[in-house]
Amino acid sequence: MEGITLADRIQAVLDKESSRIVGRFMKDVDLFGGIKEVCKRFDLEAAQFQCIGSLSHATYVQLEKTSEGVLQYSKKIISDSPVELLSGTGFVGLGSDGELDVHFHGMFVDCHQQISGGHFLDGENPVAITIEFILFPLKDIELKRGNDLYSNLPVFQFSMKE
């Protein structure tokens, strides 16, 4: 396996008629890193995507309420076994730093037959066997992280490209 690059571990093809990109990530590709790599390959700054497959482990957070009733994210949760990603969906846009950023939520079942899910974290969800995906490019839309008016959390802001 020595000498194999990230690009070698990603299959991605463009269906010209629908402008959709489909493919898969192979073992050890990080889910977010793979999505970003495909977006770079096809010169995308905004897209919606869906995926299914398996992860060596899932790393995510979930919403919780503080004792004061304020919503916040939990501490990082890491599954203690490989998982089957039953449903995953997200958006790709630009972060406040101008780099590609992924917002992804998924539902999975672990090796204990427990179903869970949440807001997955960047760089911490490696593929176990395969992840199959479809990307829906958003050519005329700009997605850029900005603080939400109500929560003050950084969320994607949607606008038309100028």
Q: Give me the pLDDT at residue 71, please.
A: 86
Kindly report the average pLDDT of the chain as a whole number: 95
Nearest residue to 71 via CA among 144, 156, 146, 152: 152
Query: Is 60 exceeded by the pLDDT of residue 5?
Result: yes
Report DSSP letters for 66-128, one per residue: -TTS-EEEPSPEE-SS-EEEEEEEEEEEE-TTSSEEEEEEEEEEETTS-EEEEEE-TT--BEE
pLDDT at 158 exceeding the cut of 90: yes
Dist. CA 160–CA 106, nearest whole Å: 27
Q: Dump pLDDT digits (tens) for 30-48.
A: 999 999 999 999 999 999 9
Say what the pLDDT of residue 2 is: 61
Q: What proportion of the chain, given as a percentage, has pLDDT over 90?
A: 85
Fold of 10-160: 60s Ribosomal Protein L30; Chain: A; (3.30.1330)
Q: Three-state DSSP class for 44? A: coil
**Amino acid making up residue 12:** A
pLDDT in tens, 118-155: 999 999 999 999 999 999 999 999 999 999 988 888 89
